[in-house]
Structure formats: C-alpha cells, structure tokens
Structure 1
Amino acid sequence: MYLVLHKEMLFLKVPGSATRIKPYIHYNMKKLPSLCVLTFLFFGAEAQNMDSIYQVYAKLVSSSQENDKAELKMRLENDIKSENETNWMIAWFVYFQMRNTAKADSILQAGKQKWPDGQLAKHEQFNFVNDEKDPFKKDAMYHIFLKRFPPPSKDAIATYDDMRGQLAVGYLKSGYVAKAFLYTDSIKTLNVQRWMARELFSKDHCKEAAVLMDKSVDSTREYQMAAMIFHENMEYTKALRCIEIAYKDNHTQPITYTIYFSTLKHLGKDQQAMDIAAEATKTGLADKKMKAELKELYEKLKGREGYDAYAAELNKAFLLQLTAHLQTTQINEPAPDFTLKNLEGKQITLSELKGKVVVIDFWATWCGPCISSFPAMKEAMLRFEKDEDVKFLFVDTWEREADPSEKVKKFLADNHYPFDVPLDIKAYKAAGAFDVKGIPAKFVIDKTGNIRFRFTGYSGSDYTTTEEVSAMVTMLK
C-alpha cells in the first residue's frame, strides 16, 4: 500500500487496484513544499495497521476539543522520540496536515540523518526524480534511485512502475518513442498500464496501447477508453465486449453510442447497429454522421420507402422527452443586473432587456468546451435571428489578458460567429453576480427578468445543445 496526494487529498492505494480506498487528510496545495507528491511505502502487516493509525490522527487534527489537542501533541512528541522511522514519518505527515511546514521539514532532515537510506530519504529522492522534467536527466536519476533503493518486495512494484511510467510519458512527449517503449514493456501494475495505454493512444500508438489495455481493462474497468483503443486498432470483437459493458454502466455520452454503433457496423451486425443509432437519435446523442449512416442502414434493411416517417418519429420522441425533462428543471430566480460594454463599445444593461427572452452564455477563448459548443449555439441563435423578442449574449469572462477584445474579435471573425459579446473583464462582476462556478455556463431568462434555466458544461452533442436551447427559448416566449 502507499499514500499518494491527488487534487489536495491524500489517498491510501493498493498496488494494482483501481480504487483509492479513502481520503485521509485534506491538503492546501499552496502550503506544501516543492516535494509535491507525498508517497509512503508500507508493506506486509505494517500496511494493515496504517489505516487505523491515520484515521485516529485525522480525527485528532480536525477536532477543536482541548483534550484532543493535548492528545495529538503528546502523540506527536512520542513519535519524534521513537526509534521507529514509521513513527517519524507519521509525525512528519501530520505536521504537513497542520500546515506547520517548518516543523515537518525539520523532522524530514533529522530523519534523513538518522536513517540515511530509510523511507524519509527514499521519499525525498522519489520526489526529486518525479519533479525532473527532462526525460534523459530523469532516466539517470531513476537508475541512481533504483540502485540506492531497490524494491524490497513484489508489493513495492507500484511506485517503481509509476516512475517508469513517468519516464515513458516524458520520452513520448519528447518524440523518443523507442525509449518510451523500453519502459512501457516493463510495467506490471495494472493502473500504470492503463495510464500508459491512454498516453500511447493519445500519441497514435494504437497497437501498443491495445496490448496494455488488454491486460488491465478488467481490473481498472475503464471499458469505454478500452473500446476506443480496440476500435482504432481494428480489434472489433474486443471493442464490442468493452463497449457493451461501458454502455450498461453509463450510456448518457455521445461517444458511447458512436463507438458502439461503429463497432457493430464493422462486425456486420446491421440490425443491432440500427437499433443503437435509433436509440441515440431518440435521446439526442446521435451526431449528423450517425444519422446519415442510420438512413443508409434503414434503406439497406427495409428499403427506400418509409425512412422519412421513421426519422420523424425518432425526432418527435426526442423532443417530447426533452420538453418533459426541461419542465422538471425550470427555476424562477431574479436575474442579477449588470452593465457591460460589448466589442463595438456599446453599453449593454441586462435589466433594459426586459420584455425579451435572453440567453446568456458565459465563455472564454481558452475554454475548450465553450468553443466546442459554439456551432450548436450559433444554430440555436440563428433560429431566432428575426425574432425581436429573443436576445443572445455571449459574455466573455475569466480571460487572462487585461483587454482581450482584439483576441476575441479575431476569434469570432476566423470562425464566422455573428455573436454579440459583452466583455466581463477586470473583476468579472457579471460572472460573479450569476455565481458562475465553471464555463460554459448558460442562463435563459424570461421576459420578466427571471432566470428559468441554467446549465453548465457541454454535452458533446451539437444536436442536443441546439434543441435544448431552442426548446427553452420557445417555452418562455
């Protein structure tokens, strides 16, 4: 077992397991030293004891009771007086949690002197290797580390595989593919194999990715990614097995239907493929390509007659389902007012737009999902371009430049987006007033100035987004 810091939380992990057992202690990343990946190794019976020990300390640290504070102080003092390095590691770790980095560092330095080749020294060296960005320097440091701290048992392989994985990724990103493969071939830990498969796939090394994913998918349960890799590698039978499991787990994403449909088609399972495409269409998750191929399949299996009526029924089913869903998600909150200047220098005050249905889309030029949703938003906007009672505002916010106006203008011109873009710069007051937590964030406001719909993110389906926004506007007109 080992502890690993991930997104401000420390988790206990078991080598080869996909599961983080439980979070022990929250961290403030800004308070941590440069050795940012905190990794401890515990083996055998000792590992079984760490669970209860850390739970006790976590409770004491979070308690405001004076007797708990006294007990915590006593325990830490006893840990530092101990001749057992594990106790020192516990004290060091807990002082970090208490944000007493000076005390934690003094324990680390004293512990390294007391146990020059112990776990504290090993942890520090591991992080030195981890922090190095140059793959060749990291490689040399890794071999020095390996010579000084050879794996004490088979259970220790996860940390060493993690280091080999980092080396492989570093070489891949630097273009040294052959060197990367030297390390991917030696990785045994299933979680690291899965990680490597994803990295290889992202660099178009599908064959090698498929080999690693084949070994790890049933343990890590990352079936959708496995299906993508096997599909790309033209191993359609394996892809089908994985996508069927992924579909049962969650079929609310367009990519699930896309992989499922394409895999079935490649395997000659035309009727099943047609059924999946029909379901995707009824749920709004079929893209234009799938719909075109659905038409081809229909005509192949049933003839040219009747497709238009069939497609109309599928679309009707989607719209009925969408309308019913939207009725359950309506809210009724006063929209906060704001006044912003748009790219033309015109002042726009939200309260002056009462009497219109207003769609506000908070976005930024660096936001991938925002940009991905724009073709759908453009189509929705154009449906109402002649309706004077509907107004779309694409509020640019959270930009990193003091004045992003020229950058935004170029982006709109390059992509032919005829958007009205108010600039929410400096203090981001409009985004703050609407309590925007993430972007894209969309709000649909009725004619009386109340927010009736809000949603964050992008589903990945242009068709669904266009129809959702259009339906929201239509319901409020």
Structure 2
Amino acid sequence: MNASDQLPCPLKGRELIFSLLLTNEYGMKIIVVRFIGLIAACFITSVSYAQQSQEDSLFVDKCMKLAMLGTSEGQTAAANELKAYAARKNDAKGYMDAAQIAFFLGNPILSDSLMKIAAEKFPKSEAAKTVAYGTFMTTTGNAQAIEAAYHKWKAAFPEAAADPFYDAGTAKVALAYAKEKNYKSSNAWTAQLIDESEKADLELERAQVALENGDTAIAIPLMDTAATIARNIAASGKQSRIALMPFLGKYAMLLYQAKKYPAALQVMEEVYQHSPEKSIELEKNYALIMAANKRGSEILPLLSKLVKEGHGNSALLAILKDAWLQDKGSLEGYDAFVAGLRADMAKRVREGLKQQPVNEPAPPFTLKDLDNRTVALQDLKGKIVILDFWATWCGPCKKSFPAMKMAVEKYKSDPKVKFLFIDCMERVADPSEMVRKFINTNNYPFTVLFDNSKTRVAERYKVTGIPVKFIIDGNGKIRYRILGFEGGDDAAVEELSALIEMAKKAS
C-alpha cells in the first residue's frame, strides 16, 4: 500500500491537483477533462504564469475561497460565479475551464451541465469531443456494440491518430473482444495502439481477462509481451527502473495466478529488491509467492511482523499457516503462536490509542437506506452507534471495508452496537444503484444510508475528509473520532473494538 492510500480522501474542493492549479509558483495549468460518468483524461501542460490573466487568477481564487467555506451557501455562490464566468467568456475554453473547476469544487452536476452547454454551442470543439468520448466510454453491451460506438465517435471527430483519446478508446474495444474470447479481433485492435505504455497496460489487462476466461495458454504470452514492452520503455530512458517496479509487481502476480511459481518469484524478487519502499501489499505478495515456491521458512519472520503490526486478515493467515507447515512439518503449536502474535498486536494497539474523548452531542439525522427505509439516529439511543462516512470514489474508504466487515461480524450478536455506513460526497446525482452494486458484489453486511446536499449530515458532523468514523455512546454523545485508514485490518478492528468498549463504559 502506498502512503497516499493510507490517508483520508480530502474534502471536495481540496484535491492536490486543484491546489496545483491555484499555486502560482508551479507555473502549471492542470487540464482535467471531466465528462459524464468518469474522468476522460488528466493532462498536465506547462503554462507560464504570465499567460494567465489577472482576472482569471482572481476568479479562481474567489471560487476556491467560497468552496472552502464548507457550507452549501459557499458552494452555491461558487456555482453562480462559475456560470457567470462561462457566460462571460462565451467560448468553448471558458466553459471547459469552468467545468474543470466545478468538478474539483465537488459539483459534478454543474461540471457536466457546463460541458453539455459547451458541446451544444460549439459542436466542433474539444468540449464536444470530450462529451462524445464520455458517451462512448460509458457504452455497455457486447464488443460489436462498443466497436460501433467507437466508429461513430471517431467519425464525428476525425482528429490526429496520436490523440491519446483514440488509444484509450481502441483499448476499450480490444478489451471488450478479449472478454468474449474473440482474441483474433482483440489482437487486431491492440495492433492499432500507438503509445507503447498504453499497449503494455492493455496487454497486461488482456492477460488478466484471459486468465479469468480460463485461457492460461493465451494469457502467458500476453503478460510476457507486456513485461517486454515495459522493460524496453525503461531501457530507453523514458521511464526509470524504480517506476517500472509496480508494473512488474502486477506481472509477477499474474504469473502466480497462472501457477508459474518459479517465474513469478524471479520477477517478484527483482521488484522486492529494487522497490525503495516496501509497501504492505508488496510484502504480502512477496510472501505469497515465496510460500508457493516452498520457501515458507524464509518468510516466517516477515509474516510474523505483519501480523504483529496488525496487518493480519484471512488471506495473510492462510499464507502464515502454509509457511509454518513448511517450516515445522506440522501445525502443532501454530494456534498458540498466532494467538501470541495477535495478543502482542492488541496490546500495542491499545497502548498506542491516540483518540481523545470528544464528548459532544451527536447531531440528529434521519436518512434513507438502500431499501428506501428511514433510519433515525434518535431511534438508536441506548446503543453504541458507529458512523462510517465514505464514498464510492474514495480509495481508502474501500480499503477499510474488509476490516469494517470483520468488525460488523464481531458485534453482530451484540444488540447494543449498531454500525451505519453513510455514503456522502458522491459525484453523481443518484448513487444508489452504484452503491448497491458495490455492496452486493463485495458481500458487505452493511447498513448503508445516503447523505446529500439536502440532508447535509456530513457537514453537520464537520467532516473534513473521508473515511471518518464517529463512535457515539448510548447517551447520544460523540465519544471518539477516527480519521483515515492505515491499512492494517486486524489493527483497525482492535482499535475500533477498544473504543467501542470504552464508549460502553462511558454510557
């Protein structure tokens, strides 16, 4: 896990990219193309500060300050400023600039609206091409339907083939055919790619699809080709060797999935040796591949360290068990060994608790759940309530959910403990189906509630980043607040459990 994955997602309007846009000393203009449903691309191009008019700089600063107020009034005022700016400029670039800023201020609906207006007013503009491309990229159906949509978009905007939009679109079609096991058509579309980095990424994706299709014999040459392309890019000086390591890490894991254990280990050892920072994910994957190569004795210290640090989960414990068996020849003493590691972890977590009691009244709220049923906080008085504010776009939120599932299951028989997962700050008008699919796909036993610009529960809880959890005692008082997720499932459950028990005593 990268360090950035451990941090909470920032409040809307505080993204790093937007801060760069506002920071004069960088001399950069961040061009982020936002269209319906997803971000089409993010390109950074140098623009000297002298090229930016004083009017535009002041305008951006004003919008930023309004949005950073953290209130609905501030958001509304910023939206009005953006609309006025676009109308005043009255050209495609003005509308696109306003749309980009609206997106980073956390107003995707306004962003989409401005892009649509630009596309309608200026049908041959970059804005129109972006909106049309967004429509294509959200096309669903079989590969032929996706190919037809691609041709329709390209016919409407026959720009230079080197435009990265076209490579991304071509890759979408190639992947669609691969998913249908039509590898001949997939190969033909892949051959059209111009950018070598895009081709390397696509070959790795196609290899993953082939493995999922059960076509290992097809997958292996694809992943090998991807690795060769990536290595050639690094050898040419276009990419550093260190930057190559994450790609090779994915390659090693695909080799592992294909049961090519010695080859996987050869690549993973290279990655492990040359990665300056050993992320938890890298350590786990390294241990997994070492165990598959019957070298469990060598990784017992590493696995023990991971468990003691709180990174244990069912997958890691399965590796530890395998490594123990390889080293000891039997499972005698294994359970006691793991219990000791977890006891050390629990002691460390509880001794290191940094949360100070908050002791503030929990703002009341009434929200709808996934089944459109009403849930009111006041109806849960007498219970310990854990509020988890999250969003589908928030990586750390989703990384924390396996641990939260463990916590929910730990307390499922305790009638005095209730978990509520409040979906907030979403970038689509109605996220319910998207959230439902995510929850069901991952089999999370969560009670999900929906917050929006009308209910404004996150605002009333002064949420400045997600994920954030609030532990409310039986008297309706906020006792503890946990911001972010540090990536250790066992440690997260232990920390939350300790705070729940302390909240019980305070009730």
Q: Same fold (TM over 0.5)?
A: yes
- Tell me which of 287, 294, 297 is aligned to 1:261: 287
1:226 pairs with 2:251: yes
Q: 1:95 to 1:321 in 2, by over 3 A?
A: same
Name the % identity: 16
1:434 pairs with 2:434: no
Query: Superposed, which structure 2 residues align to 1:63-102 within 5 Å?
Result: 63-64=57-58, 93=93, 96-97=96-97
Distance in 2 between residues matched to 1:59 and 1:93, nearest whole Å: 14
SS at match of 2:229: helix
- Tell me which of 24, 46, 54 is aligned to 1:51: 46
Q: 1:316 to 1:371 in 2, by over 3 A?
A: closer
- Tell me which of 248, 272, 285 is aligned to 1:244: 272
- Tell me which of 285, 309, 316 is aligned to 2:343: 316
Query: Superposed, which structure 2 residues align to 1:64-463 within 5 Å?
Result: 64=58, 93=93, 96-97=96-97, 131-132=135-136, 133=139, 134-138=145-149, 140=151, 156=162, 161-172=167-178, 176-187=182-193, 189-197=195-203, 199-205=205-211, 206-207=219-220, 208-216=222-230, 219=239, 220-221=243-244, 222-223=246-247, 224-233=249-258, 234=260, 235-241=263-269, 243-244=271-272, 248-252=276-280, 255-302=281-328, 306-325=333-352, 327-330=353-356, 332=358, 334-338=360-364, 340=366, 348-349=377-378, 352-353=381-382, 357-362=384-389, 372-373=402-403, 375-382=405-412, 385=414, 391-394=417-420, 427-436=454-463, 441-445=468-472, 449-456=477-484, 459=487, 461=489, 463=490
Distance in 2 between residues matched to 1:169 and 1:422, nearest whole Å: 33
Cα RMSD over matched residues?
Answer: 5.4
In the TM superposition, what is the alpha-carbon distance from 1:236 to its structure 2 partner?
A: 1.2
Q: 1:57 to 1:467 in 2, by over 3 A?
A: same
Q: 1:175 to 1:293 in 2, by over 3 A?
A: closer
- Whether the aligned pair in 2 keeps the contact of 1:445 and 1:452 (CA below 8 Å) is yes
Residue 69 of structure 1: aligned partner:
none
1:469 pairs with 2:489: no
- Aligned residue identity for 1:56: A
Gaps of 5+ in 1: 1-6, 13-20, 41-46, 66-90, 113-119
In the TM superposition, what is the alpha-carbon distance from 1:333 to its structure 2 partner?
A: 5.5
Q: 1:264 to 1:378 in 2, by over 3 A?
A: same
Larger RCO of the pair (alpha carbons < 8 Å, separation 6+) = 2
SS at match of 1:444: strand
The CA deviation string for residues 230-265 of structure 1, in whole angstroms up to 9 with x for no partner, is: 32232313441355158642423xx43432112112
Report the TM-score when normalising by structure 1: 0.61
Aligned length: 393
Q: 1:189 to 1:237 in 2, by over 3 A?
A: farther
- Whether the aligned pair in 1 keeps the contact of 2:387 and 2:471 (CA below 8 Å) is yes
Q: 1:466 to 1:226 in 2, by over 3 A?
A: same
Larger Rg: 1
Distance in 1 between residues matched to 2:279 and 2:118, nearest whole Å: 47
In the TM superposition, what is the alpha-carbon distance from 1:376 to its structure 2 partner?
A: 0.6
Gaps of 5+ in 2: 1-14, 21-25, 60-90, 100-113, 140-144, 212-218
Report the TM-score when normalising by structure 2: 0.58
